[in-house]
Structure 1
Amino acid sequence: MTVTYQGALSQGEATETVAMTFTAPATKQFTILSATGAQIIRDSVFQRALTAEQTAAGAAAQKASALTLENYTMVLVGREQLPAGTCLVLDVTPKVASEFTYAGRVWVNMTDYAVVRIQGKPAVNPSPWITEGEFTTDFQKVGDFYFPLKTVSSSNLPLGLRAQLTIQYGSYHILGATPLRK
C-alpha cells in the first residue's frame, strides 16, 4: 500500500508491504513486512484500511455489499473492450448506503460474467477528514478465480490536500478450492 499526498503546505509518501492470508469463508490475517514514510499516515490510513478489510470479509458485510439485485439498482449502459475481454458496462446505485457499498460503474466479463473492474464513489464517506473520494479496482483471473489486481483511491482532504492510496496486490497462492457447480 502506498499513500501519496500533496497540497500547498505539504507533500509526502508512506508505504507498507503486507502479506495477507485468507481462510474461507471470512478470515483475513495480515502481517506487515515493511513500512516507510510518515508514521501518522501508516498508523491512521494503513491500519484503518486493514481493519476495514477484516470487517468487509465477514459474512454480514459480504451479504450486505454483494453486487446483487437485492443490494443494487443496475442499469446496462453498454459494452466495452478491456484486457480481460469484452465487458458489459453497468451503472450501479446501492439500495442501502453503507460503508461497504458504492455508486458507480461496473465492468462484467461477457465470457464468465465475472466483475473485472469497479469504478465509483463510496456510498458513505469513510472519514470525516475526506471531503470527496473515488476509487477504481481492477481484477485479474488466477486459475478459475478472480482476485483484486490494483485499487487506486483518491480523496480530497482539509487544507487543500489531495491524497491517493494505491494498493497493488501481489502473488496469489490458492492452497485448496472446490469449484462451483455449473
Structure 2
Amino acid sequence: MRWITRQSVAAATRRGKVVLSCGVLLWGLNAPAASAPGLPATLAPDQILTRMEQRYESQLRVLESYQARRRYSVAHTMLGKPAYLVVEEQYRAPEEKLFRVIERGGPSEVQGRVFSRLLEVEQETTRESVRQQVDLNRRNYQFTFEQYDPAARAYVFAAEPRGSNPYLLRGKIWINEQDFAVQRIEGEPVRRHSVFVRQTRFVHEFSRFGDFWFPVRHRSETDLRLFGRAVLEISYFDYHWQIQKEEQP
C-alpha cells in the first residue's frame, strides 16, 4: 500500500483522458422572487438556493476531517475484464486530501492512466482556489427552478454554467426539502475532454450521515467515437468524520 500525492500521480495520456471524461467532475454547489408553480407558497426559488448555499458553506466551516473508502471500476469491451481500484481517502480541512491504495485489479494501463488521473483531479479541485471556481452556487451557475419531486422530496433546478472551466457541469440538481443539501446531480461536463468523446452523461448521489451529506454513488457513461461505450462507477462507504471544536452544522 502507498499514499498517492499530487506529485506522485502519473500524467494522463490521450487514451486515459477518453475514459477519464466519464468522471472528471468528481467531486466530489437576489432578492426573493415570487414562488414558481409547484413550490410551497412560503419558499421562492431564490430562497431555496440561498439556503442551499448556506448549508454547503456551513458544512465546509464545521467539518474538520473525514476518512472514507471508495471503489472505482471501469468497464469497456476492449478491456476484456473490468478494472477496479479500492482506496482509502483522508481529508483534512481546508484542502488536504490523500489517497491510500487498498486493492487493485484489471489492466495496468487503466490503473496508471485513468484511476491515477481521477485521484489527481480530485486533489486539484480540493484546493480552495480551484474549488471556488466550481462550487455549486449562483456565482458559478445560472439555476432555473423546474419542479418539486415528491418521490425524492426535493426541489429540482436546471444548472447552466456561467463559465467554461472544464470541471463545471450542465444538468440538473436535486435539493433536499428538509436540509437544503444537494442530494443528486445529473448532467454532463461543460466541455468534452477528448476528440474521441461523443457525449458523457453522469449521475452523482449523496446521502446524509449525521449532520453531513457525503457522496455515496457515481455512474458515468461515455459514448466514444469508434470505441463504443465506457462506464465508470464509484461507490463511497465507511465514513468517519470529526467536526471543528465548539462548532455545530
Q: Which residue of 1 aligns with 2:203?
A: 136
Q: Which residue of 1 aligns with 2:28?
A: none
Match of 1:33 among 92, 102, 121: 102
Runs of 4+ aligned structure 1 residues displaced above 4 Å come to: none
- Answer yes or no: is the 8 Å Cα contact 2:97–2:123 preserved in 1: yes
Q: Structure 2 vs 1, CA of residues 106 and 158 (structure 1 numbering), >3 Å: closer, same or farther? A: same
Taking structure 1 as the reference length, what is the TM-score of the superposition? 0.91
Shift of 1:164: 0.6
Q: Which has the larger radius of gyration?
A: 2
Q: Which residue of 1 aligns with 2:119?
A: 50
After superposition, what is the alpha-carbon deviation per residue over 1:112-166, rounded to whole angstroms, capped at 9, x for unaligned?
A: 1100000000012234443321111000101101000011111122423211110
CA distance in 2 between counterparts of 1:45 and 1:129 reads 15
CA distance in 2 between counterparts of 1:125 and 1:25 reads 30
Q: Which residue of 1 aligns with 2:74?
A: 3
**Which structure has more helix as a fraction of its residues?**
2
Query: Which fold has the larger relative contact order, with Cα–Cα distance below 8 Å and residues 6 or more apart in sequence?
Result: 2
Q: Secondary structure at the match of 2:221?
A: strand
CA distance in 1 between counterparts of 2:133 and 2:109 reads 32
Match of 1:161 among 209, 228, 244: 228
Question: Unmatched 5+ residue regions in structure 2?
Answer: 1-71
- Answer yes or no: is the 8 Å Cα contact 1:61–1:100 preserved in 2: no
CA distance in 2 between counterparts of 1:20 and 1:129 reads 31
Q: Secondary structure at the match of 2:164?
A: coil
Q: Match for 2:74: what amino acid?
A: V
Percent sequence identity over matched residues? Answer: 27
TM-align CA RMSD = 1.5
- Answer yes or no: is the 8 Å Cα contact 2:79–2:107 preserved in 1: no
Match of 2:175 among 108, 114, 134: 108
Q: Which residue of 2 aligns with 1:147?
A: 214
Shift of 1:10: 6.0
CA distance in 2 between counterparts of 1:27 and 1:48 reads 17
Q: Secondary structure at the match of 2:114?
A: helix
CA distance in 2 between counterparts of 1:133 and 1:42 reads 21
Question: Unmatched 5+ residue regions in structure 1?
Answer: none
Equivalenced residue count is 176
